[in-house]
Amino acid sequence: MTKIRSALSSIPVAAWLMYAFLGWFIVAFLIYPNLNVYYEIFWGGGSFSLDAVHKLISSERAMKSLYNSFILALSLVVTVNLVGIFLVLVTEYFEIKGAKILRLGYFTTLVYSGVVLVSGYKFIYGDSGFITRVLSHLFPAFNVNWFHGYGAVLFVMTFACTSNHVIFLTNAIRKLDFQTVEAAKNMGASTFYILRRVVLPVLKPTIFALTVLLFLTGLGATSAPLILGGSEFQTITPMILTFARSVTSKDLAALLALVLGVATLLLLTLMIRFEKNGNFMSVSKVKSALVKQKINNRIGNVLVHTAAYLLFVIYIIPVVLIILFSFTDARSISTAMLSPGEFTLDNYITVFSNMSAFKPYLVSICYAAVASLAVVVLTLMASRILHKFNNIWSRTLEYALLIPWMLPSTLIAIGLIVTFDTPKPILGNTVLLGTLWLLLIAYVIVHIPFTLRMVKASFFSIDGNLEDAAKNLGARSFYSFRRVLLPIILPSALAVLALNFNNILADYDLTVFLYHPLYQPLGIVIKNSTDAQALADTQALTLVYSVILMIMSAITLYGVYGRSSRSKTK
Amino acid sequence: MKKTISLMMIFTLCLLLAACANGNSSTNQGAASPAASNGQTEPQSSQAPVNEKLIVYTNSNSDGRGEWLIDKAKAAGFDIEIVGAGGADLTNRLIAEKNNPIADVVYGLNSMLYEILTQNDVLEPFTPEWADEVEEGLNDPDGYYHSLVKQAILLAYNPEKYTPETAPKDWSDLWNKAEYKGMYEAPTLLGQGTPRIVAAGILTRYQDPSGEYGISKEGWEQIKKFYDNGVPAVEGEDFYSKLAGGQTPIGAMVSGVLASKEKQYGVKSGIVSPEIGVPVIVEQTAIVKGTKKRETAERFINWLGSAKTQGEFAKEFNSMPANAKAAEQANEDVKKLYASIKTQTMDWAFIAQNIDNWAEKIELEVLK
């Protein structure tokens, strides 16, 4: 009897509760509604049909777009990693004059994205853009329509997609033990050799995680190909979005999304295997902080400085132009001409004058705060399990959490609606449709895979000895998690939190299906007032809202990320 | 750092609680409303009827139209909450919410979308008091939806590039005459409403029950030429800027936004009036099936579509009312425009049945 009692008390109740909660959450919100939507789509008519496959294979355009998506994804993995690693080395590793200002420039992609970002680039390189005008002035034979197709899309996306590098690689490189660099230097290793053999291996887990995300971003590219691709370089996602909204073509959307999702999973499986084969981490117990390295080679130094400042200019100009043009009217925007007489505050007055519209900001901020925090907590739990165990259950858990990558967000929304519009036993017979919860749950679901990748990567760069030491000193599992592990991964976790928060603020695709009618989020209000059907100066309003969102995002980033990084350097 | 975290935790908890409370109160409202409507007096009794808060879905609330309507409704004794989104999104949403409807009334969507709604059993039949005042042929013959505002999908051109003589005479000129090749915008963004109507306006000319999705082989060839010879539309760009700038001087425009675009870009456009007519979409209104506030909803629709409300709306927002009495009060420019064009006869039920398949086929096989 006492034996049983002691056996029972040794079972960690809290841990089991956590497992039970995770299991329930995954079944109720990741597996059930998403399987349901696949079922409705493919078997909805009573029998399974391969029509969708046939339609897609016989469409030249669909096949070409799919091919382009993969080409773009693979190219981005190369170009963004190159640029991203360079940016982080410039701001964190090498001694570069004005690195702090450069960093601000490189951070700009964190506060704006999508259509606005691409339009920003079009202001500069488009047919009436600034650079184009300079070039055509210098070379009269210059073709003003040069900026479109594969090259243009790759150019814009290469610079647009470095956000994650700037945040997570920075976190990773700060964990580098400077003693290892010193040791290599003392042994006479060259700058490049140290980079390759000492610095990069430490960054490897993070680079792997970022590579998977890049591949997915490339496959999911929407606005850049739509605006700059021209007819010669269209990708598949715009087609998926169109089909997902139409009543009869959902099967095509689901099928295409499945193809992209499976490709991503394959890459991920490959990466997970690589990760297992070798996780490099420093074995030093007393780490010393990184000292910025001077580039001794004069020519090399000049080259790196030039490249760093050139990149800075590329990053900063679109943002400056967006802010400037938000003070002009549609005609100035479409011709990309700035003249001093045209500046006006009218656009801002229009946006802020009908301020029953403060409520949407509040609704969106609440949703974004709660959802992004919930995602991080959830993925912390999951990463903890993945870090602790390696068995069939942990692997199942990991793949289950990646399900949202297999469906476009529109279909995830539809899955939630068709599943939870009637009482379901798994939720204690409550109806979620028409409550505030449904949208919150959807935001959480959609951001799980990305968050998990990043949180997990930082978990796996932790030295296992630390936890063992805590255990040997008698710390309980939760205590050692809270006092030893959490502080190490907190910078990355907070960064993900901020990124998710910013993403949710102005989301439209998912929100439009699920928001509670009485609590309209910001994304809906923006879309309504900048819709093509609207009468007002819609292009100018789009820019005004973008500037507002940039400011909100910048505040979030400063609050969460800027402060935490400063406290670290103290 | 620790303090910040715990503060954030507390903040979150508060939010969650607030969310909880809100959720509860809204369900309470839902539970209370049937009782309220049961105890309510008949509208025709001498006592003033009690109006409950209505949830109204619409796609035409931008540019202050929503705020205007809320104010006017308030003056007439109605408490409404407007939920605005794009037409296709609202249609999807209404169908998705079928088992647990949130909206009471929907207005502003075009007949094609209302056909999709009736086919999915989302609407409740109701004939408003003003139904007879509406121009013939616009209301739903089955009585599910009734008409508010007319919108013509026009073929517009830049008058500095073309004169009425050199401009195309019909959509078909665009791909049959070499001089218009590359001079017009091809409506490729088929996720949006207007491009779909333009495509439907061309395809329905080639109706053939034995053809693919009800369209003859010739029809599919014609539409392919139409898309091949045009300049694809670009997401996020305002077409009117390209019409005004002369890069793409010909393309489709919705009549309701024409006046403000002309003012914005300082270019007044020429309008083609084809022999066959132009597609005229009609914004309709209907009661959502399963509403618990049916009587208030009926009174609201009676007020919304009345000659008085629609006439005032037309004056304020340059619209063309479907209500003949209200149409007399429309602005002169709008009346002139509608006098100069003819309405193309289109079978909306047929279009609603096929439009998704057409869009899919165009996306997959017609576009390059």
B8, B96, B363 ranked by CB distance to A414: nearest: B96
| Alpha-carbon gap, residue A502 to A552, rounded angstroms | 8
Closest Cα of chain B to A491: distance in Å? 11
CATH number at residue B319: 3.40.190.10
The reply to whether B110 falls in a domain is: yes
pTM over 0.90: no
Say whether both B207 and B351 belong to one domain: yes
Residues of A within 8 A of B265 (CB-CB) are 330-331, 334
Instruction: Encode pLDDT of A337-349 as tens digits.
Output: 777 777 888 888 8
| Alpha-carbon gap, residue A400 to B157, rounded angstroms | 54
The reply to whether B337 falls in a domain is: no
Say whether both B356 and B244 belong to one domain: yes
Say whether both B311 and B347 belong to one domain: no
**In chain A, what is the greatest distance between 2 CA atoms, to the nearest angstrom?**
95
Quick check: B116 contacting A, CB < 8 Å? yes
Say whether both B130 and B162 belong to one domain: no
Helix residue ranges, H only, A99-169:
99-106, 114-125, 130-138, 150-160, 163-164
The reply to whether B22 falls in a domain is: no
Say whether both B319 and B291 belong to one domain: yes
A225 near A393, Cβ under 8 Å? no
Q: Return the closest-CA partner of residue A223 out of B132, B61, B334, B237.
A: B237
Say whether both B231 and B358 belong to one domain: yes
Say whether both B104 and B166 belong to one domain: no
Structural class in CATH, domain A12-46+348-570: mainly alpha
Query: Which residues lie below 8 Å from residue A536, measured CB to CB, with a gap of 6+?
Result: A350, A529, B62, B63, B260
Closest Cα of chain B to A121: distance in Å? 13
- Alpha-carbon Rg for chain B, nearest whole angstrom, is 23
Q: Which residues pair with B207 in a beta bridge?
A: B215
Specify the residue for token string 């360079």. A86
The pLDDT, as a whole number, for residue A328 is 86
* Domain coordinates in residue numbering, chain A: 12-46+348-570, 50-325
Say whether both B81 and B190 belong to one domain: no
Surface of B (59-88) touching A: CB under 8 A: 59-64, 67, 81, 83-86, 88
Domain spanning A50-325: which superfamily? MetI-like (1.10.3720.10)
Q: Return the closest-CA partner of residue B201 out of B179, B175, B228, B172.
A: B172
The pLDDT, as a whole number, for residue B17 is 43
Quick check: A497 contacting B, CB < 8 Å? no
Residues of B within 8 A of A414 (CB-CB) are 92, 96
Helix axes B87-96, A409-420, angle to 10 degrees: 30
The pLDDT, as a whole number, for residue A6 is 59
| Alpha-carbon gap, residue A66 to A29, rounded angstroms | 29
The reply to whether B232 falls in a domain is: yes
Block means of pLDDT (10 residues each) for chain A, length 570 residues?
58 81 91 85 71 88 93 95 95 90 90 80 82 87 86 93 89 84 88 87 85 88 84 86 80 86 84 68 62 86 94 92 86 76 82 71 92 94 85 88 83 85 84 87 93 83 75 78 80 88 85 84 79 68 86 86 51
Q: Which residues pair with B250 in a beta bridge?
A: B157, B184
The pLDDT, as a whole number, for residue A130 is 79
| Alpha-carbon gap, residue B111 to B303, rounded angstroms | 20
A517, A534, A537 ranked by CB distance to B83: nearest: A517
Surface of B (289-328) touching A: CB under 8 A: 317
SS (H, E, C) A178-195: HHHHHHHHHCCCCHHHHH
Say whether both B257 and B158 belong to one domain: yes
Say whether both B350 and B223 belong to one domain: yes
DSSP-derived 3-state class of residue B323: strand
A546 near A318, Cβ under 8 Å? no
The reply to whether B311 falls in a domain is: yes
Surface of B (187-206) touching A: CB under 8 A: 190-194
| Alpha-carbon gap, residue A561 to A55, rounded angstroms | 47
Q: Domain range for residue B124?
A: 51-150+281-331
- Count of domains for chain B: 2
Instruction: Encode pLDDT of A109-147 as tens digits.
Output: 888 877 778 878 888 888 878 788 888 888 888 888 888
Say whether both B268 and B293 belong to one domain: no
Surface of A (250-309) touching B: CB under 8 A: 252
Surface of A (380-419) touching B: CB under 8 A: 414, 417-418
The reply to whether B28 falls in a domain is: no
Q: With an 8 Å Cβ cutoff, are A533 and B59 in contact?
A: yes
The pLDDT, as a whole number, for residue A254 is 84
Residues of B within 8 A of A520 (CB-CB) are 83-84
Work out whether the CA dihedral A309, A314, A316, A321 comes out positive or negative: positive
Q: Return the closest-CA partner of residue A367 out of B275, B299, B22.
A: B22
The pLDDT, as a whole number, for residue B79 is 92
| Alpha-carbon gap, residue A265 to A533, rounded angstroms | 40
Say whether both B158 and B257 belong to one domain: yes
Quick check: B276 contacting A, CB < 8 Å? no
Task: List Cα–Cα distances, B176 to A87, A154, B181, B366, in angstroms.
Answer: 54, 37, 9, 17
Surface of A (129-188) touching B: CB under 8 A: none
The reply to whether B63 falls in a domain is: yes
A59, A252, A330 ranked by CB distance to B241: nearest: A330
| Alpha-carbon gap, residue B166 to B273, rounded angstroms | 13
B91 near A531, Cβ under 8 Å? no
Quick check: A565 contacting B, CB < 8 Å? no
Task: List Cα–Cα distances, B250 to A535, A540, B223, B344, in angstroms.
Answer: 20, 23, 17, 20
The pLDDT, as a whole number, for residue A531 is 65
The reply to whether B1 falls in a domain is: no
The encoded tokens of residue A272 equal 């997970």
With a cut of 70, list the residues of chain B below it in pLDDT: 1-49
Query: Which residues lie below 8 Å from residue B16, measured CB to CB, with a gap of 6+?
Result: A370
